[in-house]
Amino acid sequence: MRIKARPIVEGRAEGEALISKNPISFYGGVDPKTGVVREKGHPLEGVSIAGKILAFPYGKGSTVGSYIILALAKNNVAPKAIINLESEPIIIVGCILANVPLVDKPEKNIFDIIKNGDYVRIIAKKDNAYILISRGNTREELSGTR
């Protein structure tokens, strides 16, 4: 399946999807050394975002969150890419600093389509972006989409 989105930070990434229907606060909510979500009561509490295609509606919290995203990248525990319903400045700046591909405003509700463990490829170019999805942790359905 292919879903159009708005490109925010250009790049390409692919990997296993990690989904949260709840917003994420990177400052205080994610350990910058391990990439593990530590916000009490968050659905992803105790889960690592490292190397995942991370999808969540929007960011929340302090502007320091941008620097936490950068620290995640410096510690090699950042997500490979981020998908938001609507990105806000904290996430945008963090992804720019960390060079993490970022897309938002997908044309379809990604929470109805992408499930944890699905194999996802993000292609974000200056003028367009696509989210490509394969059920389960497999690349088979994405062949020929590079």
Q: Is 93 exposed, middle or buried (0-12, 13-18, 19+ CB in 10 A)?
A: middle
Give the separation between CA 86 and CA 89, rounded to whole angstroms: 10
Cβ neighbours around 46 below 10 Å, total:
8
83 and 106 Cβ atoms separated by less than 8 Å: yes
Q: Identify whether 62 is a catalytic site residue.
A: yes
From the candidates 20, 25, 62, 87, which is the catalytic residue?
A: 62
Cβ within 8 Å of residue 5, ≥6 positions away: 83, 103, 104, 105, 106, 107, 124, 129, 130, 131
Active site residues: 62
